[in-house]
């Protein structure tokens, strides 16, 4: 069809926030440990707990072994000999090799193993103590799964029964994604080890305790205006009540930023909402540093103590609430306070005397009990605004489930006069195409919108196109939508809790999805202001599908064969008989029968089905199509 687009550059539309498009980082899909945090060893501090996953133990990621006739036993222990109060469990080796040989442990890294590049250097370190009067000899080696060496060995002698850090560098002799690191000790006595670490020297911007370069560079290439972190459901779920009665130590707890700063060996490990244990090696300092390194505004999210994410609990513990409010004030001091302040001083000690440029902070993530959330939120907000009037405090609206809770939270947000509200939604591509005008009617005098999480469900080109189309609607309403971030950002192919995701990776490779390219296009080309425009021509209106299958039928999980989708002018957009073509239809693929679930979604992931999903999505939105198919069953 012929369209005319009329653009009037002299008319002024809303200005667009330079920082409008950003990224949302959450430790989901192994995004941090085993992901962007460059540490190569899994469970380096022997802290894993069986929360959510009974298979986890203090020795997850490790195996024991001996060489040269050595022997011993290995136990993980949390007792008074611990490294410190947060990093509690350590490895105790009872060594029994009086006549030579060695005994110890081997770490297999994440999934396939440790990724090494030939010629690259790797920094090893360990905290250790021994009761052997003459010290304990330690040998550290990189090798393949069969024990073949992959780098020079490192030897150290551990002396004295107090914790000391031992370190050295290993150079890889081969490129692999399946290396192992072994730490073996000789002699007799009790050797205690903790924080066994192996880091590539080559991190993003060469930062110590830094980020995996390829992943950080992919995020940086987006040129994001902001980084929202550290979650998501990860932030506000878990136990707010701190200490688990049985262990005396919190097991799965909400994100407490103070556990994530200071020397890495004093940071906690947490069994997080996404079913695995995360170290806090990547903590608040590293997030703030990363945001600064890529020219983005840091945007932390703190819990308001009303869990969403399916848990829907609120705290009524006044003391705990007061502590979290104070923690939030301390967090702002950590990011922006002078070096003479307590928390600004810690930031300086960690290597950043100058303040970070923190201007926005979100309180609550999908905390969708309106009364309870607002009771807490207003107290956070007034404390923050009183102490730091320059900080914009962002409220939340729960997940947009098109339900009462979302509306009630929005009513309260409006009534309370909050400056900005965080919205989240994950919907079908059709939804995104149909809701391009969502923000056209938002109250211009009301709170601004921070679209903190959105994505069209699935990782296909059509999803990305739908997102791009939708983003034109965000931008047209740039006076209301001030910030927007796709979610989630990162996914390890071997451990996926959520899809779609923007950047995928394994131990040594990474790649962006088509949505990554869309985000990059928008982020790299943020306009100054909207120029009003008008399109005229034949307008295609959404029509019901005609033919053998109607929309309601598509929405079942029945099985079909012989599918053809035809446009009004007779053009066949898609057809597939899912057989060898004996009936005269063009066989696009031989997939057998397939099933369609929920509004045109196909369960498995094949090229022909991609096309069908696309056809079905179009059919349910903008075109008058004929869809024919033979129903097999269901
Ligand atoms: O982005 C994945 C999850 O989706 C986030 O943790 C949560 O906020 C939302 O429900």
pLDDT, position 564: 57
Task: Look at residue 545 and tell me whether its pLDDT is greater than 70.
Answer: no
Q: How far apart are CA 4 and CA 539, in angstroms?
A: 11
Residues 339 and 412 in one domain: yes
DSSP state of 463: H
C-alpha 49: how far from chain center: 21
Instruction: Indicate the range of 288-292, 315-319, 341-345, 444-448 predicted with least confidence.
Output: 315-319
CATH code of the domain containing 93:
2.60.120.260
Band (588; pLDDT cuts 50, 70, 90): very low
pLDDT tens, 468-503? 999 999 999 999 999 999 999 999 999 999 999 999
Contacts of 92 (CB under 8 A, 6+ apart): 74, 75, 76, 77, 190, 191, 192
**Quick check: helix, strand or coil at residue 293?**
helix
Which residue has a Cα nearest atom 3 of ligand 1? 232
Task: Look at residue 604 and tell me whether its pLDDT is greater than 50.
Answer: no
C-alpha 307: how far from chain center: 18
Domain boundary residue, one of 407, 434, 461: 434
Residues 107 and 217 in one domain: no
pLDDT, position 423: 97
| Residue 489 CB less than 6 A away from ligand 1 | no
Q: Ligand 1 centroid to 234 CA: how many Å?
A: 8
Q: How far apart are CA 100 and CA 69, in angstroms?
A: 7
Choose between 374 and 399: higher pLDDT: 374
Average pLDDT over residues 294-317: 87
Cβ(393)–Cβ(381) below 8 Å: yes
Strands 420-427 and 448-456: parallel
- 598, two tokens: 């929920």
Assigned domain for 154 exists: yes
Cβ(421)–Cβ(448) below 8 Å: yes
Which residue has a Cα nearest atom 6 of ligand 1? 232
Cβ(305)–Cβ(321) below 8 Å: yes
Q: Ligand 1 centroid to 53 CA: how many Å?
A: 20
Residues 30 and 112 in one domain: no
Choose between 314 and 70: higher pLDDT: 70
Residues 137 and 219 in one domain: no
Cβ(195)–Cβ(107) below 8 Å: no
Residues 146 and 84 in one domain: yes
Instruction: Indicate the range of 53-62, 127-136, 378-387, 593-602 predicted with least confidence.
Output: 593-602
Closest CA to 33 of 198, 223, 242: 198
| Residue 423 CB less than 6 A away from ligand 1 | no
| Residue 233 CB less than 6 A away from ligand 1 | yes
Which residue has a Cα nearest atom 4 of ligand 1? 232
Task: Look at residue 538 and tell me whether its pLDDT is greater than 50.
Answer: yes
pLDDT tens, 397-450? 988 876 778 999 999 999 999 999 999 999 888 888 888 899 999 999 999 999
Q: Which of 366, 372, 453, 617 is catalytic?
A: 366
Closest CA to 464 of 432, 493, 490, 442: 432
Residues 72 and 210 in one domain: no
Residues 31 and 93 in one domain: no
| Residue 231 CB less than 6 A away from ligand 1 | yes
Residues 189 and 224 in one domain: no
Which residue has a Cα nearest atom 5 of ligand 1? 232
Assigned domain for 89 exists: yes
pLDDT tens, 156-170? 999 999 999 999 999
| Residue 617 CB less than 6 A away from ligand 1 | no
Catalytic (active site) residue 366: yes
Q: What are the Cα distances from residue 177, in Å, to 113, 207, 492?
A: 6, 23, 14
Most confidently modeled of 110-124, 461-475, 537-551? 110-124
| Residue 399 CB less than 6 A away from ligand 1 | yes
Band (94; pLDDT cuts 50, 70, 90): very high
Assigned domain for 262 exists: yes
**Quick check: helix, strand or coil at residue 256?**
coil
DSSP string, 544-574: --EES--HHHHTS--EEEEEEEE-TTS-EEE
pLDDT, position 333: 98
Q: Ligand 1 centroid to 431 CA: how many Å?
A: 19
Assigned domain for 221 exists: yes
Residues 192 and 269 in one domain: no
Assigned domain for 234 exists: yes
Domain boundary residue, one of 398, 416, 434: 434
Band (573; pLDDT cuts 50, 70, 90): low
Residues of the domain holding 320: 21-35+205-434
Contacts of 440 (CB under 8 A, 6+ apart): 473, 476, 477
Residues 90 and 215 in one domain: no
Residues 160 and 227 in one domain: no
Assigned domain for 448 exists: no
Domain boundary residue, one of 434, 468, 498: 434
Average pLDDT over residues 97-124: 97
Question: Residue 121 — φ and ψ, nearest 5°?
Answer: -105, 145
Assigned domain for 44 exists: no
Assigned domain for 9 exists: no
How many residues in the chain?
Answer: 634
- Determine the atom of ligand 1 nearest the C-alpha atom of 453: 1
Structural domains in the chain (count): 3
- State the complex-level ipTM: 0.99
For a pocket test of ligand 1, which of 235, 362, 366 has the largest count of ligand atoms closer than 8 A to its C-beta? Answer: 366
Residues 151 and 290 in one domain: no
| Residue 488 CB less than 6 A away from ligand 1 | yes
Instruction: Indicate the range of 245-249, 492-496, 620-624 predicted with least confidence.
Output: 620-624
């Amino acid at each position: 069809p012929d369209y005319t687009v009329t653009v009037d550059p002299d008319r002024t539309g809303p200005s667009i926030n330079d920082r409008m498009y950003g990224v949302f980082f959450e430790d989901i899909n192994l995004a941090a440990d085993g992901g962007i945090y460059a540490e190569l060893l899994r469970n380096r501090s022997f802290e894993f707990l069986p929360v959510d996953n009974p298979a986890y133990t203090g020795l997850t990621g490790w195996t024991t072994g001996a060489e040269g006739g050595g022997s011993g036993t290995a136990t993980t222990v949390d007792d008074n000999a611990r490294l410190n109060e947060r990093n509690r469990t350590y490895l105790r080796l009872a060594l029994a090799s009086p006549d030579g040989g060695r005994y110890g442990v081997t770490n297999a890294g994440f999934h396939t193993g440790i990724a090494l590049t030939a010629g690259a250097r790797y920094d090893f370190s360990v905290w250790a103590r021994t009761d052997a009067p003459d010290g304990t000899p330690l040998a550290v080696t990189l090798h393949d799964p069969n024990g073949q060496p992959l780098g020079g060995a490192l030897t150290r002698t551990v002396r004295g029964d107090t914790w000391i850090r031992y370190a050295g560098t290993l150079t890889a002799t081969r490129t692999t994604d399946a290396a192992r690191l072994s730490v073996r000790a000789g002699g007799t006595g009790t050797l205690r080890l903790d924080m066994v670490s192996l880091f590539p020297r080559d991190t993003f911007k060469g930062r110590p305790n830094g980020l995996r370069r390829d992943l950080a560079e992919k995020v940086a290439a987006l040129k994001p205006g902001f980084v929202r972190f550290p979650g998501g459901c990860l932030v506000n779920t878990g136990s707010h009540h701190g200490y688990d009665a049985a262990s005396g130590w919190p097991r799965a707890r909400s994100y407490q930023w103070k556990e994530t700063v200071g020397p890495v060996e004093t940071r906690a490990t947490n069994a997080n909402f996404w079913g695995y244990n995360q170290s806090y090696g990547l903590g608040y300092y590293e997030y703030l540093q990363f945001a600064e390194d890529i020219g983005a505004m840091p945007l932390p999210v703190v819990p308001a103590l009303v869990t969403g994410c399916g848990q829907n609990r609120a705290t009524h513990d006044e003391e705990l609430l007061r502590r979290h409010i104070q923690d939030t004030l301390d967090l702002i001091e950590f990011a922006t306070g002078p070096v003479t302040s307590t928390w600004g001083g810690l930031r300086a000690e960690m290597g950043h005397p100058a303040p970070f440029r923190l201007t926005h902070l979100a309180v609550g993530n999908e905390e969708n009990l309106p009364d309870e959330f607002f009771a807490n939120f207003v107290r956070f907000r007034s404390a923050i605004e009183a102490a730091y009037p320059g900080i914009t405090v962002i409220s939340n609206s729960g997940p947009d489930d098109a339900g009462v809770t979302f509306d009630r939270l929005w009513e309260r947000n409006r009534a309370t006069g909050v400056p900005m509200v965080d919205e989240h939604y994950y919907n079908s591509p059709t939804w995104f195409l149909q809701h391009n005008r969502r923000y056209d009617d938002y109250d211009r005098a009301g709170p601004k919108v921070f679209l903190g999480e959105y994505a069209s469900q699935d990782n296909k080109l059509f999803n990305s196109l739908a997102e791009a189309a939708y983003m034109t609607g965000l931008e047209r309403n740039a006076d209301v939508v001030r910030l927007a971030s796709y979610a989630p950002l990162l996914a390890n192919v071997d451990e996926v809790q959520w899809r779609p995701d923007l950047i995928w990776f394994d131990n040594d490779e990474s790649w962006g999805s088509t949505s990554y390219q869309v985000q990059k296009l928008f982020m790299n080309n943020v306009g100054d202001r909207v120029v009003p425009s008008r399109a005229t021509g034949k307008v295609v209106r959404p029509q019901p599908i005609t033919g053998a299958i109607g929309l309601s039928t598509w929405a079942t999980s029945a099985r079909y064969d012989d599918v053809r989708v035809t446009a009004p002018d007779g053009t066949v957009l898609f057809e597939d008989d899912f057989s060898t073509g004996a009936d005269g239809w063009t066989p696009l693929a031989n997939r057998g029968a397939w099933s369609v679930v929920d509004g045109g979604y196909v369960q498995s992931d094949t090229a022909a089905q991609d096309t069908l999903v696309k056809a079905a999505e179009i059919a349910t939105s903008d075109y008058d199509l004929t869809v024919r198919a033979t129903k097999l069953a269901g």
